Structure 1
């Protein structure tokens, strides 16, 4: 009997202008949790898509339980015992939890779906996983975290021998992460092999047994998790030491640029009052559902508040749309880059320049493509964006490089106030360090920055002040000197 549940040997995958995978190998043992680590663009997701049948490798061999396989589609991989929880949710919002889990393989009776069996199977599965959802809950009505738990249940329902988890905790609270880890430990005890992809170092050292590291589409090394330290793992991932993850400058903080007074939106947030000054980084902390993103969306004109006042440089303004917000000097990097940030079918250059298009247009309506290309290329070099050309469709880039393009978009707009909602979610540690450096540089130039983050080390490492929210209200604003994890969590739980 083979010692491995899954083997990938000499896998290469080519795309136009890009060698996404270069002769990589991976071996995963049954009854183990195997971490796959690397910067964005390292090839992790591409390899997983080869293993699950989304892509066909151009070179190499895949074995499942010692038998060579060649999947034509994802169904073939699922039938062979490989399931995957994707980073991007893959659910049908207008269908129920039960319908989503068993889609395409519903229990049938007399030629019709046996709804009794469907609900019974779903209840048994959810109970086994201790997931507190009902089979007939509509998926579209669930929180992102609950939808993620449905994805987990769906993957487990195939009774696969290999379960791939790609950033499974990106939308989960600490309690939900603990719940997921309990599920993973149970699967491991059953002899299942788990491939675990995450950029969160604490998770890697908590839940995994082995680690494989990729860099620039190539395999770098594999070892037991216990053989790594945090620093040695980072060094292997990025090929260099990151001696200062949070490069915070000693910036002179100026006058208040943005003032918010008694902002409210019925049932969402109430009596929100704060200010942010030139050169200041205001961190916004709180648990899931605290109302942080909703406040930022109202500031940027994406939703309309029911009351309150917004001032820019001391002058009251009415922001009724994102276009007005941009005109007034605000910029907003949204939490969900694919849903509300990127134009996935457009190129890198088009995504980068779209907000600044009036600056490139003459009175006669002609666009200066030469200046646009020059500015975009400067940002690509400055932010170290990995793309073959500016004309590459942005959906072909890794998540971290997509995020950098969005940041470049707002750098070109030269805003007074930059709102960053989870700016490093789903981004590797090397790209995080680069983004932190950019944020510090912008603050040093006098840009006022609001940074919403669920990662306390990020909040503590980058913020001059920390505003904490709970239940749609501000529960406290802490100076850098008095902010620590205990004080923030205490305010976030009030």
Structure 2
């Protein structure tokens, strides 16, 4: 038995339903002071709902929620929540404010303090430089709306670190960080837990990171706690995925030969991606991985989808202009795109599931309105992807993050495409959904579509890709590694990042 007085927060028999759907069915969970606690479970298990209840953005239906002060005294829920900061899986920054203003906001939330720009900048710089000092120097006065998803992730984490909170809840915090930035973040968390008694709840689907950072873990499955506060050293990876109910999705390597058609047998024109002094040619059905810090991959992706502001890259194929003038032109000529930022640039939150799934078809066909056949078409797609939805006319926010990611991929299923660009397509999804996405990518390639896939998880690139284009830390292309030479060590050497 643990000493409950040492817990900064504890929940007991917590329940929560949305309409007829029961999300939490009696969850037990507690976090001790100075502890980094991994909260694990598949997409839809109830982790995000539990976090929303702890932070006060959702109300519990039943059960007990207790916050304590440093002496072990029970606080009111309002008092306790003032000691909590959260970084959600989908960022919650204010785009019309600067980086400094976003980070400094928690310090002025009482409303009685006059905003001081110099103080705000100092607070923001101190917090952000713990993760990336160069970015801290360059970004303080930039508007958040102008940042990449990767940069926004660093800002949100810095805001949580600077808030003075005693408990920080991190929901997939490293999804858009490089290996070096992730290690710096982990170093900060270790120091703050050790020296300041900070408590951390860490939500991640990356087993390697869980092993690196978490002291203990709890596992939620189907709205119930199946493992509570067990040291991570006492559970194997297989035991964890079994408790999550995903033993069949254990991350053992899938043979690369599982592709349903060899590249050499596919017809169609090759395409060549080139910059000054460098080029790589993709045959139909090739899966080209992209590795490295965001500067290089983001510039390449912008060129491939018609969103580039510079002329660095060209994309040459018979019938293509060399440089797309817009994303619409790229899509209509057969170049698709799946964003890793499903919340802000991917999912159409105000439109139902059917419109989200069929969005790409509407662009490529030039149609604005739903035809009768589309409902049947959409139903076939969501069933093929094992998407559990009450109705095609429900909004996508009724689905888990992993299921929303499937909707983005569904947009390009059965759409004639010569190129599909994937930006972190498995960001924030569980092991089972990852394996389904891997197979979807293989299936798309088997039809002759060339795939360009940026991932910050080197293990993914090794498993699925035919070859990998690497970028160094300055954003310059540093070489292409063929399938038979791929290794995490080789990728680390060419990208300048830890494997």
TM-based fold match above 0.5: yes
CA distance in 1, matches of 2:118, 2:442: 57
Unpaired runs of 5+ in structure 1? 264-269
User: What is the match of residue 401 of structure 2?
Assistant: 399
How far residue 119 of structure 1 moved from its aligned partner, in angstroms, is 5.1
How far residue 357 of structure 1 moved from its aligned partner, in angstroms, is 3.4
* 2:483 is the counterpart of 1:480: yes
CA distance in 2, matches of 1:157, 1:478: 41
Note the alpha carbon deviations across 1:169-218, whole angstroms, 9 max, x for none: 12222222121112211222232221111111111111111111112333
User: What is the match of residue 380 of structure 1?
Assistant: 382
SS at match of 1:42: coil
User: What is the match of residue 199 of structure 1?
Assistant: 205
Task: Trace 1:72-87 onto structure 2 (pairs within 5 A).
Answer: 78-79=81-82, 81-87=83-89
* 2:234 is the counterpart of 1:227: yes
* 2:271 is the counterpart of 1:259: yes
Change (3 A) 1:320 1:209: same
RMSD of Structure 2 on Structure 1 (CA)? 3.1
Task: State the TM-score, normalized to the length of structure 1.
Answer: 0.87
Note the alpha carbon deviations across 1:79-111, whole angstroms, 9 max, x for none: 2x2221222332334444443233264499998
Structure richer in helix, relative to its length: 2
Could you tell me whether the CA contact under 8 Å between 2:290 and 2:468 is conserved in 1? yes
Note the alpha carbon deviations across 1:141-187, whole angstroms, 9 max, x for none: 66655543443333233432221111111222222212111221122
How far residue 343 of structure 1 moved from its aligned partner, in angstroms, is 1.0
CA distance in 2, matches of 1:77, 1:107: 16
User: What is the match of residue 138 of structure 1?
Assistant: 142
User: What is the match of residue 289 of structure 2?
Assistant: 283
**Which range is displaced more, 372-381 or 449-458?**
372-381
Change (3 A) 1:443 1:137: same
User: What is the match of residue 300 of structure 1?
Assistant: 305
SS at match of 2:249: coil
Change (3 A) 1:332 1:247: farther
User: What is the match of residue 214 of structure 2?
Assistant: 208
How far residue 356 of structure 1 moved from its aligned partner, in angstroms, is 1.6
Task: Trace 1:398-477 onto structure 2 (pairs within 5 A).
Answer: 398-470=400-472, 471-477=474-480
CA distance in 1, matches of 2:479, 2:51: 43
Task: Trace 1:16-415 onto structure 2 (pairs within 5 A).
Answer: 16-65=19-68, 67=74, 69-71=76-78, 78-79=81-82, 81-103=83-105, 105-106=107-108, 112-115=114-117, 117-118=119-120, 133=136, 137-140=141-144, 144-189=149-194, 190-222=196-228, 223-242=230-249, 244-246=252-254, 248=256, 249-250=258-259, 251-254=261-264, 257-260=269-272, 262-263=274-275, 270-271=276-277, 273-290=279-296, 292-303=297-308, 306=311, 309-312=314-317, 314-317=318-321, 319-357=324-362, 367-369=370-372, 371-415=373-417
CA distance in 1, matches of 2:448, 2:128: 51
How far residue 126 of structure 1 moved from its aligned partner, in angstroms, is 6.1
CA distance in 2, matches of 1:130, 1:32: 24
Could you tell me whether the CA contact under 8 Å between 1:260 and 1:272 is conserved in 2? no
How far residue 483 of structure 1 moved from its aligned partner, in angstroms, is 1.6
Task: State the TM-score, normalized to the length of structure 2.
Answer: 0.86
CA distance in 2, matches of 1:30, 1:142: 34
CA distance in 2, matches of 1:70, 1:289: 43
Could you tell me whether the CA contact under 8 Å between 2:291 and 2:470 is conserved in 1? yes
Give the count of matched residue pairs: 478
Unpaired runs of 5+ in structure 2? none
Note the alpha carbon deviations across 1:294-321, whole angstroms, 9 max, x for none: 2222222223653765333x44435322
